[in-house]
Structure 1
């Protein structure tokens, strides 16, 4: 699966966190990984919005 296909996730810190979590827990179901990626995406959007507003 393409892990870095969402622009919000290409920020270095969050990308490293996603890679390490998916690499360290390959037994996790794809649905779980999908949910985590979705949550991560939302948080990054919120963080980006705060940065832009400053």
Structure 2
């Protein structure tokens, strides 16, 4: 099973991201493959630009 965590907060390392990291760590300990994507580090995409 793959667990995908999306961090949507504009603050990197904030409380929401800390909680997400804990949840992903728990899922990994239970045997799941995990991946985290921080949306604040992604460039916005607009096909019309």
Same fold by TM-score greater than 0.5: no
| Greater per-residue strand proportion | 2
Whichever of the two has the greater Rg, that structure is 2
Report the TM-score when normalising by structure 2.
0.38
Report the TM-score when normalising by structure 1.
0.36
| Greater per-residue helix proportion | 1
